[in-house]
């Protein structure tokens, strides 16, 4: 069963409560999303480390319930 935008957003907000989060369904199929996350948790981290934090927050659901997730991460300006 695909992951809903609501479930994805809930998981991300639990991990990054102070973040600005925007999620788009790229294909309209509930299986391919883009998430833009701006969080102080990303300050000073490489893009790879930022993405690792996001994947960790999703607890292995990427590739299973969540087929594809394009990430745009940054720290607040």
Q: Residue 38 is part of a domain; what is its CATH number? A: 3.30.300.90
Number of domains in the chain: 1
**Structural domain range at position 31:** 5-74
- Interval 8-54: pLDDT, tens: 999 999 999 999 999 999 988 878 899 999 999 999 999 999 999 99
pLDDT for 1 beyond 90 = no
Full-model pTM: 0.90
How far apart, in Å, are the Cα atoms of 34 and each of 10, 15, 27, 30, 67? 15, 17, 10, 11, 11
Task: Find out whether 8 and 66 touch, Cβ atoms under 8 Å.
Answer: yes
Give the pair of three-digit tokens for residue 26: 């790229």
| DSSP category for residue 57 | H
Query: 68 or 33: which carries more pLDDT confidence?
Result: 33
């Amino acid at each position: 069963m695909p992951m809903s935008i609501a479930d994805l957003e809930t998981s991300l907000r639990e991990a990054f409560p102070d973040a600005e989060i925007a999620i788009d369904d790229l294909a309209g199929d509930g299986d391919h999303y883009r998430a833009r996350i701006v969080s102080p948790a990303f300050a000073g981290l490489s893009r790879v480390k930022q993405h690792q934090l996001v994947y960790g927050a999703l607890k292995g659901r990427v590739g299973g319930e969540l087929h594809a997730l394009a990430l745009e991460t940054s720290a607040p300006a």
